[in-house]
Amino acid sequence: MSDLLANLNSPQLQAVTLPPVHALILAGAGSGKTRVLTTRIAWLMSTGQVGPHGVLAVTFTNKAAKEMTARLSSLVPINTRGMWIGTFHGLCNRLLRAHYREAGLPQTFQILDSADQLAMVKRLLKNLNVDDEKYPPRELCHFINAHKEQGVRAAQAEVYDNYTQKRVELYAEYENQCNREGVVDFAELLLRCYELLQRNEPLRKHYQERFRYILVDEVQDTNKLQYAWLKLLAGGGAVVFAVGDDDQSIYRFRGAEVGNMRDFEREYAGDNVIRLEQNYRSHGNILAAANAIIKNNRERLGKNLWTDAGDGEPIRAFEAYSDLEEARFVVEEIRELVRDGISPTQIALLYRSNAQSRVLENELFTKNVPYKVYGGLRFFERQEIKHALAYLRLLGNPDDDTAFLRVVNFPTRGIGARSLENLQATAHQTNSSLYNAAASLTGKSGQTVGAFIRLIEQLRVETNGLPLPEMVEHVIEKSGLAQHYRTDKEGQDRLENLDELINAAATFIDDEGAIGEGGALVSFLTLASLEAGEHQAGEGQEAVQLMSVHAAKGLEFDVVFVTGLEQGLFPHENSVNEGKDGMEEERRLMYVAVTRARQRLYVSCAQTRMLHGQTRYCVPSCFLDEIPENLLLKLNKKAEPAAFPAFGSFGGGYAEPVPSGGLRVGQTVEHAKFGIGVIVSTEGRGADARVQINFGRSGMKWLALEYAKLTPV
C-alpha cells in the first residue's frame, strides 16, 4: 500500500484516498491528473472497496484509455481486459453490442465515421432531389450531430421556419436510412445507448448496481448528452469521481459545455473539490504567464499553477514585420536550438488556424529542416485503407450502402453513373439496400453490377472460418485492390499501407484476445471506425512538430513557439464576435498553448500577414498584453524600415517617429469619404506628416494628416 501511495503530493494523496463520496478534482495542466485517476482506481481495488467489475472509467481518446489501463496493470495485480475502461463512444458501442436486440439494431451493425456519414447525406440529398447548395451536406451533418448531442431526435426538433422544417425532415430521412442499412454514426452510439438505458428499467438497474464507482477524465469536455448519460448510470448510488480543468475547455465548437463542471460541483461534489495546482511540467515563468492570462476569465472555478522547478528562462517575444519574417525568425531559432542539442521532436510550432502553416512549412522546407504536420492524414482515413475496409464491411453487412458505393466500381469494372442512378432509384422505390436491389437490374447494368455481387458472395464463402489477418489479406488480393495499386505508378506507398492493415488485424487479435459480440471482423471494423480520429505516429527521422493549438492539447514539448498572436487571428475574429463566451474560450486556448512548454516558450506576431490570398494588417493580440512585462525577453531589432513603425504596447522596440495627432499603426479610424480603415504606415512630422490607410473596399490611401480629419474608432 505504501508503494502505491508513495511520491504523491498532499492534494494528490487526499484525492486518491477519499472516502466513498462524490468529488471534483480540479487538475491543472501538468499536475498529474492521469496518475491520480489511475491510482484512485488501484487504491479502491487494493483496499477491497470495489472489484474490477464494479468500476466504470470514462475518457475521451483511445490513447488515454490505453494509457490508463497500462498504468493500472502496473499498479495492481489484476487482469484489466474485462474492465469497463474506455471512451464514451467505445463503452456505448460495447453496451449496444451486448444488447443489440433491445436497442433495435442488427448484431453486425457498423459504425459510420465522419467521411462515411457525409457520403450517406450526399446520397440522401441526391435520392430526394434536394438542392445541395441550399442544403450543404456538411452543414446538414453538423445539424444532425448537434441535435443528437443534445439528445434530440428529428421528431422532437424545434422548427422555426420553412428552412428549418426541411432540415428536420432530412434529419428524419437520414434516421430512416441508417435504420434501414443497420448503421450508426458516432453521435448515434451515445444517443442510442442513453435511450436504451432510459426506457429499459431492468437493464438500467443492472448497470447502476454493477458500477459502484464511476470515474470521469476530462469532464470539462463533456457535452450535454454525455453528462446526462453519466448521471443516468450514477442514478443507482454510484460514487462519481470527476477530474478536469475548466481552464482547458476548448471544444465548445464540438458541443462541449464547460458549465457541466459547475453543474457537477453543485449537484454532486459540494465541498469535495480538490485542486491539483503543483505543476510537474513547466518552469515558473511559463506558469506565471499562463496564470496571468487565464485570470482574466471571469467564469472559472479558479486555481493557480506553481512549481518548485525554479523560474527558468524568460519568455521570448518577437514582433515581425510580416508573416514571412516571422517564419524566418522561427526557423532560424529552431536551427540554433537543434545545433545546441535540442531534439527536433521536442520542438513544437503552434498556430490558431491551419492556414498559417503554409509559410512556416515553406521556410522549413527551404532551410532543409525536417518537419511533420501533427494530425495529418490518418491511417484509417487513407483512400486504400477505406477501400479495403469497405469490402470487409460488405462481408459483415451487405446492406451497408456507403460501403457498397465506395467499391462497387473500384477497381473499375465498367459500372457507370447511369447504372448506379438506376440502382439507387430502384432501392429507393423498393425501400431496400442497394445490394438487394441489384437483383432487379437488367441488361448491361444487371450484368456488371451482378458480377460485383457475385464477387462479394464469393469472398464471403472463401473467407468463412479464416483467421482475421488471413481474411483481410485474402480480400485485399481477390478484390483487385492489390493488383490495382501494383499497376499504379504511385501505388507503392498504398500497397505498403494495405500490408500494414494486415499487420493491424494480426495485432488486434493478439491484443484483444477474446472477441465480443459479432465476431472478430465486426470488432476489428469497430476499432477502425473508433480510432479513425486517433493520430498515428509515423516512423522515420526526427522532425519538428507543426500543429494547431487544438491538436496540441494533452501534449508537451521542451520548446514551444506560439505564432500568429494577432487580434482577429488569435483571438480569432469569429470567437471575438461571439462575445464573452467566445473570448473566454479563446483565452483558454491561449492558456493551453502556453502550458505545452516545459523549458522555453516563444510568442510571436506579425504586422502584416498573407491570409486567404490577401495581405492583412494586424494588431498584436490582447493576450500578449496580458503577459507581465517582467516575464518577457523582447527579441525585436531596432531602427527598421520606416514603413513599419512602432505600434501597441507590445511592440515598443522600433525607433521610428510617429506623426503628430496621437495616431499609430494598427489603429482603426474613420474618414468622412472612405469610411472605416486601419492605419498601415506613417511618415513625416508636423505639416508633412501623412498616413497610409487600408480602407478595405475603397483600397489603400495616403492621406495628409493635417487635412484628413480622421476619427479614431
Grid cell in block for residue 105: 439494431
Q: Is 573 helix (H, G, I), strand (E, B) or coil?
A: helix
Catalytic pick among 149, 181, 185, 218: 218
CA distance 609 to 84: 49
Mean pLDDT rounded to a whole number for the chain: 86
| Per-residue confidence (pLDDT) for residue 686, from 0 to 100 | 64
122 among known catalytic residues: no
> Could you tell me how far CA 206 lies from the centroid of its own chain?
33
| Rounded mean pLDDT, 169-189 | 95
Grid cell in block for residue 603: 510568442
| Rounded mean pLDDT, 475-480 | 93
Question: How sure is the predictor about 371, in pLDDT bands with cuts at 50, 70 and 90?
Answer: confident
Catalytic pick among 217, 319, 326, 531: 217
Question: How sure is the predictor about 513, in pLDDT bands with cuts at 50, 70 and 90?
Answer: low
Q: Where are the alpha helices (DSSP H) in 150-182?
A: 162-181
Lowest mean pLDDT among 295-309, 386-400, 575-589, 664-678: 664-678
Among candidate residues 464, 463, 414, the one with its CA nearest the CA of residue 443: 414
| Rounded mean pLDDT, 251-255 | 82
Catalytic pick among 596, 600, 609, 664: 596
| Per-residue confidence (pLDDT) for residue 53, from 0 to 100 | 92
Among candidate residues 481, 453, 452, 477, the one with its CA nearest the CA of residue 466: 477
Catalytic pick among 12, 61, 226, 248: 248
Task: State how far the alpha carbon of 515 is from the alpha carbons of 90, 120, 509, 511, 527, in Å.
Answer: 14, 29, 8, 10, 12
Which residue has better confidence, 490 or 159? 159
Question: How sure is the predictor about 613, in pLDDT bands with cuts at 50, 70 and 90?
Answer: very low
33 among known catalytic residues: yes
34 among known catalytic residues: yes
CA distance 395 to 455: 11
Q: Is 699 helix (H, G, I), strand (E, B) or coil?
A: coil
| Rounded mean pLDDT, 128-143 | 89
Catalytic pick among 34, 49, 80, 107: 34
Judged against a pLDDT cut of 70, whether residue 276 lies above it is answered with yes
Lowest mean pLDDT among 58-72, 565-579, 690-704: 690-704
Question: How sure is the predictor about 375, in pLDDT bands with cuts at 50, 70 and 90?
Answer: low
161 among known catalytic residues: no
Torsion of the alpha carbons at 196, 200, 202 and 204, rounded to the nearest 10: 40
Lowest mean pLDDT among 63-67, 106-110, 168-172, 262-266: 63-67
Grid cell in block for residue 617: 494588417
Task: State how far the alpha carbon of 132 is from the alpha carbons of 136, 218, 321, 427, 508, in Å.
Answer: 5, 37, 43, 21, 40
Q: What's the pLDDT tens digit per position in 281-313? A: 999 999 999 999 999 998 889 899 999 999 999
| Per-residue confidence (pLDDT) for residue 289, from 0 to 100 | 97
Judged against a pLDDT cut of 80, whether residue 501 lies above it is answered with yes
14 among known catalytic residues: no
Judged against a pLDDT cut of 80, whether residue 585 lies above it is answered with yes
Q: What's the pLDDT tens digit per position in 191-239? A: 999 999 999 999 999 999 999 999 999 999 999 999 999 999 999 999 9
| Per-residue confidence (pLDDT) for residue 212, from 0 to 100 | 95
243: β partners: 25
| Per-residue confidence (pLDDT) for residue 310, from 0 to 100 | 95
| Per-residue confidence (pLDDT) for residue 80, from 0 to 100 | 80
| Rounded mean pLDDT, 91-105 | 95
For the chain, give the percent of residues with pLDDT over 90: 52
Which residue has better confidence, 409 or 685? 409
Q: What are phi and psi of 63, to 5 degrees?
A: -60, -45
CA distance 294 to 276: 16
108 among known catalytic residues: no
| Per-residue confidence (pLDDT) for residue 540, from 0 to 100 | 64
